[in-house]
Structure 1
Amino acid sequence: MNYINEKLILKDSGITWIREMPKNWNIGVLNNYVRVIVSNVDKKKYEDEIKILLCNYTDVYYNRFITSTIDFMEASATKSEVEKFSLEINDVLITKDSETPDDIAVPSLVSEKIPNLVCGYHLSILRPLMDKLDGKYLLFSIISTSIKSQFSSLATGVTRYGLSYKHIKNINICVPPLEEQRAIASFLDCKTAAIDTLIAKKQRLIQLLEEKRTALINQAVTKGLNPNVPMKDSGIPWISKIPEHWEVSRLGFLSTTIQTGPFGSQLHASEYVENGIPLVNPINIQRGNIVADYQKTVNQEVAIRLSRHKLLIGDLVFARRGELGRCGVINKNNNGWLCGTGCIQVRVSKIKVYPDYLNLFISIPWVASWLSLESVGSTMDNLNTEIISTLPIILPPKEEQIKIFQYIELKKYLFDKLITTIDRQISKLQQYRQSLITATVTGKIDIREEVAR
């Protein structure tokens, strides 16, 4: 693979983000090379309509290719909708709205004919004019940074961003001769598949390391560090035996305070400021740590009014909704922050409990499962102070709690260091993949020698 060289005759593209491109290439707007079809088919099913398979937002977002292996949902559509929105081989689907502008127009290529498959709402079909544009070349072009950045800049919205029909059809695209498009698509298919395989292997390695780290923590907080210590039945089926000198308690018996954060109605929009006193909500609890969002803070006057929700060193903060089992411990870096609406504050008795050990125990999968079983709510799992107070806790003597925490911290550091290294490798591979695609579909890489091999 060589970057463009003197053997190629170049011309100025007239577009700043492309600069020069091969002389035999064209550049134009999507509308000249595809038929843009914006779907409005919803997920509902009506008796008087035709039964269909519906290709939804997530089917496109999580799959580069639309194939019969995807478990499409069943829905219904009118005859005119079936005629207009049925999918064909070489159609490229894009997501036309998103929570952020940089995550919009995610593409997927229909690579096989699937009977009764219809494009669903929140998606648009880009149907290439077969004598002008190859579907797979279009797929890679939309993945490229050159087109992604155009879509991002055109997306409009406040809390959710969208692309209009006008935006989509006016996107600029580089268009080589059709045979060269197919050669580029074949080249990128092969190269990106190899990169994706390597990325998948590294992601699997991270998964295995995380599983091993979780198993190590689980072993330490339920069995201890001494494999030869006498054991007894814990009375908890999922945990079974624990060291004989440990006790089983409830979080309520080990705490002096368990309370929810202030109700949202106690706070007004005008009281939120930047770089004030942070609120701790579920989104701020990440992997056992508490991370501030300095866009969502309150002023000193509000902090005084809500002083009963002030968090002190050693306090535990539970997420009380959504993904249960998330918990963090307050340290010197977040001392004085406030417990937010979506969390529960627990202040433990430090005579018997080492808070960092307790946070470690709460991180094991068994706790998340128990909380989920005990949770309340019809549409989302929710916790309350009563549930939190009855959470069973396996408790070693305090000195042993400290030793277990220090041992796990050292092991976690080694695991995290290795995982971070692999994460960086994945990031570099993803960046290389993106650069390769962008350079190729804008004519910055000469693939002729590669194709000739």
Structure 2
Amino acid sequence: MSLPRYSKYKDSGVEWLGPVPTHWVIHRLGYFFEERREKVSDKDFVPLSVTKLGIVPQLETAAKTDDGDNRKKVIAGDFVINSRSDRKDSSGTAPQDGSVSLINTVLRPLAEFDAGFAHHLLRSVPFQEEFYRYGKGIVADLWSTHYSEMKNIMLAIPEVVEQRAIATFLDRETATIDALIAEQEKLIALLAEKRKAIISHAVTKGLNPKAPMKDSGVAWLGEVPAHWGVRPLKFFAKIGNGSTPNRDNPDYWADEGFPWLNSSVVNQEEVTEAERFVTEKALSECHLPIISPPAILIGITGQGKTRGMATQLQFTATVNQHLAYIKPNMEQLAPIFLLRCLESAYDHLRIESEGAGSTKGAITCDQLGRLRIPAPDLNEQKQIVSFLEMKITKLNELEAGAIRAVALLKERRSALITAAVIGQIDVRRATEK
């Protein structure tokens, strides 16, 4: 879509705004909004959450408050923004009356001001960057911006009729872009499901659809080819985990040294480098196994998705206590076949680790050792690995294309909003469609 610029511009004198249409007025934010500071209870005012998608009913994951007036009152049409730098982009116009956490700044329009326009303007990337630039540091990577600083941010604003025209245009255009993003995200989810199904079928049923089958006696495996064995993983591999040396001991940590990995690495298809390093002293005094490839790493703790996720280690390293390593016997078990088996067993491992007892929320090395896996001969394992590599490569290419499309659409959405709310384009005629 090609949209015209305004016929005349003036220098705003404000770096983040640049030239603005001559008929737009320039004032500090405090001229248009005042802070709403009234404290209320979420027993009387519906609790709301401030998210990157806007203001929504309180999320289940949000911290619940105790009795007392320890929330901020919000009225429909107020703009709310999280003041903390680690919650960037969490903001929006309140769709209803309610209450929000005290960490948020609540803005009440002082004059006639279109809530839709305020929503797009104050959520735009350049405004958000300006907002957090005004913040004051708490620690190096965490700071807050309060209303006392926020009120000094300069805004350029058209009359309310034009504000509504801009908001109407952006609501329509962003809805179209959001629908396209949703389609691509749905495709990404479908590709992930297809990948999961292809892997599961290959490592549990094999590649020959005519092969006689037998009951494996294992719920997550179901029937397997009759000529396959099914045995505990401990008969095919060495299993263990590591530790985290005392972070307060400088003798244990170095900018360069022996690679040390945490559970975040399981989000990678394969691990090829480390971000943290330990010293020889740490290796000798702490429980830190030296793991050389071929080896598989698997996340074993936590409530997030990483528990049960596995990846392939491609270089010699050590690990923390939240990772287990599996060193397969190469004469019996192909590492990538094992990796695909663990991917297929992901749901089973998570369910088993969520049972009652001391291991709740954790997979133990003993549980991994007792995990019964399919055991075709090594040659058949390698055939399955080759088949899956071909299939997964194609799926990965499709996924990468969809991910790029989402990124481009989001970039286009952000650029369109920015251009409209700071007057780089004139959308008034476009609203007449």
TM-score (norm 1): 0.85
Written as runs of structure 1 = structure 2, the 5 A alignment for 1:33-52 is 33-37=32-36, 50-52=43-45
The answer as to 2:333 corresponding to 1:340 is: no
The answer as to 2:203 corresponding to 1:204 is: no
**2:120 and 2:421 in contact (8 A); partners too:** yes
Give the AA of the match of 1:435: A
The answer as to 2:49 corresponding to 1:53 is: no
CA RMSD of aligned residues (A): 3.0
C-alpha change, 1:377 and 1:41, in structure 2 (3 Å) is farther
CA offsets 1:104-133 (integer angstroms, 9 cap, x no match): 14212222x45xx222233221222232x3
**1:284 and 1:291 in contact (8 A); partners too:** no
The answer as to 2:195 corresponding to 1:213 is: yes
**1:372 and 1:381 in contact (8 A); partners too:** yes
Give the AA of the match of 2:225: P
Aligned to 2:255: 274
Aligned to 1:64: 54
Rounded to whole Å, the distance in 2 between the matches of 1:40 and 1:86 is 6
Rounded to whole Å, the distance in 1 between the matches of 2:134 and 2:246 is 36
CA offsets 1:364-416 (integer angstroms, 9 cap, x no match): 244443443458658x7123222222222122111111111111111110000
C-alpha change, 1:140 and 1:376, in structure 2 (3 Å) is farther
C-alpha change, 1:279 and 1:73, in structure 2 (3 Å) is closer
**1:2 and 1:445 in contact (8 A); partners too:** no
CA offsets 1:228-264 (integer angstroms, 9 cap, x no match): 1011101112322111111111122222x32221243
Question: How many positions carry a matched residue from both structures?
Answer: 427
The answer as to 2:426 corresponding to 1:443 is: no
Select 1:109's aligned residue among 80, 93, 102. Answer: 93
Question: How many angstroms does 1:417 deviate by?
Answer: 0.4
Question: How many angstroms does 1:177 deviate by?
Answer: 1.4
**1:52 and 1:75 in contact (8 A); partners too:** no
Aligned to 1:241: 223
Aligned to 2:157: 175
The answer as to 2:219 corresponding to 1:226 is: no
C-alpha change, 1:21 and 1:194, in structure 2 (3 Å) is same
Question: How many angstroms does 1:18 deviate by?
Answer: 2.2
C-alpha change, 1:384 and 1:428, in structure 2 (3 Å) is same
Aligned to 1:253: 235
CA offsets 1:30-50 (integer angstroms, 9 cap, x no match): 22211223687787xxxxxx5
Aligned to 2:8: 9
Aligned to 2:379: 399
Moved more, 20-29 or 339-348: 339-348
**2:242 and 2:287 in contact (8 A); partners too:** no
Moved more, 393-402 or 381-390: 381-390
Moved more, 29-38 or 441-450: 29-38
Give the AA of the match of 1:445: I
Aligned to 1:89: 76
Select 2:145's aligned residue among 140, 160, 163. Answer: 163
Aligned to 2:107: 126
C-alpha change, 1:289 and 1:425, in structure 2 (3 Å) is same
Q: Which runs of 5+ in 1 are unaligned?
A: 44-49
Moved more, 301-310 or 161-170: 301-310
Question: How many angstroms does 1:286 deviate by?
Answer: 1.3
Aligned to 1:47: none
Q: Percent identity?
A: 25
Aligned to 2:115: 135
Q: Which runs of 5+ in 2 are unaligned?
A: none
What SS does structure 2 have at the residue aligned with 1:53? coil
**2:83 and 2:103 in contact (8 A); partners too:** yes
Rounded to whole Å, the distance in 2 between the matches of 1:143 and 1:377 is 45
The answer as to 2:417 corresponding to 1:417 is: no
Question: How many angstroms does 1:226 deviate by?
Answer: 0.6
Rounded to whole Å, the distance in 1 between the matches of 2:256 and 2:32 is 49
Question: How many angstroms does 1:448 deviate by?
Answer: 2.2
Question: How many angstroms does 1:174 deviate by?
Answer: 2.2
Give the AA of the match of 2:260: L
Aligned to 1:150: 130
The answer as to 2:416 corresponding to 1:432 is: no
CA offsets 1:48-68 (integer angstroms, 9 cap, x no match): xx544211xxx3215335479
Aligned to 2:309: 326
